[in-house]
Amino acid sequence: MIRFLQTILVAHALLVLFQASVAGEFLSGTDSVVKFHEFAGWTTLAVGLVQTLVAGLALRGGSLSLGIFIGSILVMLAEALQVGTGYGRFLRVHIPLGVIVFGAVIVQMISVFRRPVKAR
């Protein structure tokens, strides 16, 4: 289960990075990328949900700490807030929260990769 969680976290980090690059294009005046940003936002939220579910299963199996599970929940909730603030154009919240989400996903990814994988 940890290997699956590692894969999800890499995908999650890449999606959040993609979000930032598309947002940069949009903020620099390229309006056509806003649909990509919207789609990637929903996709990122869905990956956050899957990450939380897999982290919950790994926690139940005893191969993951409670901190990663709680962090996954908080990141998923932050991403839901990201979707809302994006539609509401609350950029004073949306942009810093995106940076926080990216940092949190990177920290989770590093943490999960540094954990020894238990052989079963």
Four-point Cα dihedral 3, 6, 12, 16, nearest 10: -160
* Tens digit of each residue's pLDDT (9 = 90 or more) over 64-109: 889 999 999 999 999 999 999 999 999 999 999 999 999 999 999 9
Question: Whole-angstrom Cα distance, residue 119 to residue 39?
Answer: 38
Q: Is the pLDDT of residue 119 over 80?
A: no
The pLDDT value given to residue 118: 55
Question: pTM of this prediction?
Answer: 0.86
